[in-house]
Amino acid sequence: MNTDWMTRGKCKEVAPDVFFPSDGMGVLAAQRICGECPVSESCLEYALQNHIDHGVWGGASERERRRILRRRRLSHAVVAK
C-alpha cells in the first residue's frame, strides 16, 4: 500500500502522543485534528488494512475501527451468500 500520504498528514504539526489518547476527551481532540486533515481517508484505510489496534487514525478511534471492520465483514458475508 502506498504510504506517500503520511508526509501530508496534519499530525506532523502536533506531538504523536495526541493520537494515542487515554480518555474520551483525548480522542475528541485527536479527531478534531484528523477532521482537518487532507489525507484522512488514506490514513483510515491504512489503519484498517493493517489492523492497527491503537490510537486515532483517519479520525476513527480503536472502537470505531473495530465497528467498521465488523460491518465490512458482515457485508462481505452477505454478498458471498
Give residues in contact with ligand SF4 (CB under 6 A). 9-11, 19, 33-34, 37, 39-40, 43, 57-59
- Nearest residue to ligand SF4, by Cβ distance, number only: 9
User: Judged by CB, which is closer to ligand SF4: 15, or 78?
Assistant: 15
Q: How far is the CB of 18 from ligand SF4 (least distance, A)?
A: 9
Beta carbon nearer to ligand SF4, 6 or 74: 6
Query: Rounded CA gap, 36 and 39, in Å?
Result: 9
The letter for the amino acid at 31 is: Q
Cβ proximity to ligand SF4: between 27 and 37 the closer is 37
Angle between helices 62-80 and 40-49 (to 10 degrees): 70
CA distances from 25 to 19, 28, 30, 46 (A): 12, 5, 9, 24
